[in-house]
Each structure stands twice: as structure tokens, then as C-alpha cells.
Structure 1
Amino acid sequence: MDAEQFFKPEMVTVLQHIQQGHEKEARAALTDGQDLNIHGDEDITPLLWLILQQDKAAVALALKLGADANFKRANGDNAITAVAGNEDTDWLKMLLEAGGDPNSVDRNKEPALFQAVGEGNKEAVEILLDHDADVNAVDGPGSNALQYAAAINDFEMVYFLLQHGADFTHRNDTGADLAWNIHKKLSRGLVSSSSDNYEWLMKSKQFIEQKGVSFPPLSPKEVRAIWAKEGKPGY
């Protein structure tokens, strides 16, 4: 994926200097009017292009020269959301240490934390939380990362997030909370009792029961009826 496919010749030259480690030449070009925070063809940014080249030294230099880890593509994605679930967490650390927002949200209104959770990447989750990511940030439908992990059937991650303070009482826009998700999985036999995942599900259930949650929980339908009676907007 050549830079010429996406950027004007002047920016291609800047990127070449950066990849070759020529900081002085790259800085001179930037002083002369070039900008690392632009959109090239197909909405790619110079920083994202360098990340796609898997060139850590070049990315580090670009950040030093002013590339903004929070600079968004037109669709809303940025470099943080692009690497948050990456198995190689050096990328995430590099961007966060350069001022990247740990609460970045992608085009689907999903926080970066969801990308790490979706990949089952506990190290990336830890890194985001250590950089003050909100463990209870929500996506478009109002689910937090804990509910997302339960929805994708990763109860090891659910338990992990519970240990890191995730709010198990939170309800999404449908009225569902973690207890309902666990109840649904168990009552419908959606998790094999012989699997490791079942053990994590039961640990998660026990954890919230010890915190005062009762089973069976209210259904989302029952919760929505309560919200409607209380006059909650939209219900």
C-alpha cells in the first residue's frame, strides 16, 4: 500500500523522511506548510498509514513531529480505536503516551475499550484503564463494556471487568442488565456446562449475588414498564 496511492507528492516526501528517520528534513517540510493531520484519499491519515506499515519507529517520530493520535477520520475512527484491540499492545501504549484519548469512540459509537474487550485482550483493557479509560463508558445502544463482554459470551472478560469496578447494575436502553444476560444464558442453555466459559459465568453470577443481586432478575420488558410508569422519556 504505497503512500502515493493516498497522498500528494509533498506529503509522500514527508512520510519517506519519517520512515527513513530523517527528523530534520521531515520537520523542515512540516515547517514549510505540510501537515501530518490531514485526510488523504480513502479518508486515510498519515499516522494511520504509518501504523498500517507496522513501522513503530516511524510512528513514534510522526507523533514527535505533531501527528495527533486523536485526529479523526471523516467516519469518526482514529488511531486509538484502530489499535485498541491489537495483540501487540505497544501500539496502544505509544499512542496513549503521546496524548491519545483512552475514551476515543469509533464510527459505531463504540469506545476503544470495546475493541480490546471484543478481542479478549485483557492486557489492552488494563492499559486503557491505567490511562483513565471509563470502564462504564457506553456504546450507541447504551451498553457498557461489561454487558458487551456478556453479549459476546466472554465471561472470563466479564469477571475481569467486575474485578476492575465495572457497574453490574447498569441497564442499557432495552432495560437489560448483566444479571438478565446471565439469567438468559443459563435458562436457555446458551453456555455449555462443561466449558471453561461456564465456570467464569458462574463466578460472575456469584460475584454479583454477593453484592446483593437476586435471581431471577427483572426482565427488560418489566423494566421498561417501570420506566414508562415513572415517566422516563422514550418509554
Structure 2
Amino acid sequence: MTCCVYVKARSKHSVTDRPSEPGQKTCTLVSPPAWVPWSLIRTISAIRSFPHDNVEDLIRKGADVNRMHGTLKPLHCACMVAEADCVELLLEKGAEVNALDGYNRTALHYAAEKDESCVELLLEYGALPNALDGNKDTPLHWAAFKDNPECVRALLESGACPNARDYNNDTPLSWAAMKGNLESVKVLLDYGALVHVTNLKGQTPISRLVALLARGLGTEQEEECLELLCRAAGRFEIRKADGTLPRELSKDPQLLARLTDMVAHAPTLRSLARCAVRQSLGVQFFPDAVKELPLPETIKDYLLLRE
């Protein structure tokens, strides 16, 4: 009797030539069919279109869960399509959770853009929340940019740095602000994201958002986002370090007049005190920290930017 055992595609095992006794059960080691490794990532990519294709069956036939296919690995692909069940299966079968793809991105970078469940699974299996891709972007940068507040929260709860800097010195808050992503901005501010940070071009999260508004792309959400950032900042400048105004503001005289009026008035002592207290709290979940302070509830709400 003979049974056939598949091994991973990179194995060099061949059929055993050791003679066997009559009637003895022997096992033959063979490589999986050539189509199996490549079929795995194609199946994952189309898993929602062809749900009956069985990823587990392909793995059982010898597909390598850690094999690079072009620029991607199966785990990265599963996160791109936000298929949590497939992500869990790949991790259970030995997929390397912090492996890099062709762009030096981890699976967590892709999951952060898409799906909280995938993010939580990866973190549970040891994904690094502050992993850097080729541009020094963290998963938190991408979650903030895509306005996925639940992913932002999950990453921050697992130790992601709210003030991580990318190659341009932009923080996740800056990425969220440039898109007017209100919900992500709220979560980041709750975890101690700094408002007074500048990138290599001298831009702050507020000036990033102002540029969006100046292009006429703002809605009520972006306006609310600007008000929130201004409260968190206490005071801010609209002029760049060299004293000039951002070029975008010349396109919107009304916005320029409104911002000029805002910065012309000295900030109140109360707003400056709020900014100082928030900075003194450092990086932590502000709602919990403020709750423990011996202060009236109205002042606690004020510190948490609830006006």
C-alpha cells in the first residue's frame, strides 16, 4: 500500500527508492503540483467572488503560506481584502506575522487601512504596532489616513505611538488632518497626539487641514475638525516660519479673513491652561487620566475638548 504526502514547494524531496517488503505500507514524498503555490494567493484575492474556493485545502496540498508572490505574501493579500477568517487561518498555519512584502510593508499596514478584526488578529499573534514601511509610515499613519477610527483605537491600545514621524516628519494626526478625518482626529487627540508639530516643510496638522479647506473641498465635517484642532492647540499660527502665508489661502479670501481674525486675538488663559495640562499628561488615554483628576466635571469636560 502506498500513500502520497505533499511537502512544501521549495522542498527537494523526491520519491523514495528504498525497497519495501511485500504488503508493507510506504509513503512517497513529492512536491505539490506546480499550480498550488500560485493558486493560493489568487484564491485569497478573489475569495469574495469565489467563496467556495478552499484556502485550507490549498495549504493542505502544499501551498507555502510564507512564499512571496510578486510583491505580496498570502497574509498581506488576505489583509488587503479584509478577510479575517483567512487571516486567522494563515496565522494558524504558520504565516510570519511581521514579514515584509516588496514595499517593506507588514500585513498590519494593510489591515490598518481596512478592518479592525484583521488588526486585532495580527496584534494577538505578535504584530509590531510601530513597524515602519519603506517611507517610515506606521500602520497608525495608514489607519488615520483612511479614517478607520476603530483601527486607530486598536493600534493605540496596543502601544502604537501617536506621534510617530514618517520620512517627511508627518505624524498620524497630520495624515488624518490633511483629509479632514474627524473621527480619527478625535481618537488620536484622546491618546495624546501632539498638535504643535511641524513636518520638514513647516506644515502642522492645522495648516494641512487649512490647505484642504482653501481648495474648496471642505464640508461641515472638515469645519468641525478645524475647530477641534484649534481647541486642542490653544493657539496657532497661519503664517509659515518665514512669515509668509500659505499659498493656498490666497484662493479663499473668506477663509483667510476668518483665520486672521482667530490668530489676531490673544488666546485666553483658560485655553492655554488646557493645552498645558493636556501636554503634561503625555501619551495615554486622556478620558481615563482626566477622570482621576480632582476637578469638577465641567473642567474635566473642558480638558477633553468637549464644548
| Pair in the same fold by TM > 0.5 | yes
- Residues 218 and 89 of structure 1, relative CA distance in 2, 3 Å threshold: same
Gaps of 5+ in 1: 1-6, 224-235
Residue 142 of structure 1 deviates from its aligned partner by 0.8
- Residues 75 and 182 of structure 1, relative CA distance in 2, 3 Å threshold: closer
Residue among 112, 131, 142 paired with 2:139: 112
Name the amino acid aligned to 2:231.
Answer: Q
Q: Which moved more, 1:131-140 or 1:155-164?
A: 155-164
Which of the two has higher C-alpha Rg? 2
Distance 2:174 2:40 in 1: 44
TM-score, normalised via structure 2 length: 0.55
SS in 2 for 1:173: coil
Residue among 211, 216, 223 paired with 1:198: 223
Residue among 213, 234, 237 paired with 1:216: 237
Residue 196 of structure 1 deviates from its aligned partner by 3.2
**What's the RMSD between the two structures over aligned residues?**
3.5
Residue 100 of structure 1 deviates from its aligned partner by 1.1
Asked whether the 8 Å contact 2:75–2:87 carries over to 1, the reply is yes
Q: Give the corresponding residue for 1:83.
A: 111
Name the amino acid aligned to 1:38.
Answer: R
Residue 141 of structure 1 deviates from its aligned partner by 0.9
Distance 2:97 2:202 in 1: 35
- Residues 55 and 172 of structure 1, relative CA distance in 2, 3 Å threshold: closer
Q: Give the corresponding residue for 2:96.
A: 68
Superposed, 1:1-235 pairs within 5 Å as 8-9=34-35, 11=37, 19-20=55-56, 25=60, 35-40=64-69, 42-51=70-79, 55-86=83-114, 88-181=115-208, 188=214, 190=216, 195-209=220-234, 213=235, 215-216=236-237, 219-222=240-243
Q: Greater relative contact order: 1 or 2 (C-alpha under 8 angstroms, separation 6 or more)?
A: 1
Residue 123 of structure 1 deviates from its aligned partner by 0.5
Higher helix share: 1
Gaps of 5+ in 2: 1-32, 44-53, 245-307
Asked whether the 8 Å contact 2:112–2:119 carries over to 1, the reply is yes
- Residues 14 and 124 of structure 1, relative CA distance in 2, 3 Å threshold: closer
How many residues align? The count is 202
TM-score, normalised via structure 1 length: 0.69
Residue 121 of structure 1 deviates from its aligned partner by 1.0
SS in 2 for 1:99: coil
Asked whether the 8 Å contact 1:21–1:58 carries over to 2, the reply is no
CA deviation map 1:28-83 (0-9, x unaligned):
x5xxxx8532312x222132344467654343232123211211112212211112
Residue 181 of structure 1 deviates from its aligned partner by 4.1
Residue 160 of structure 1 deviates from its aligned partner by 3.2
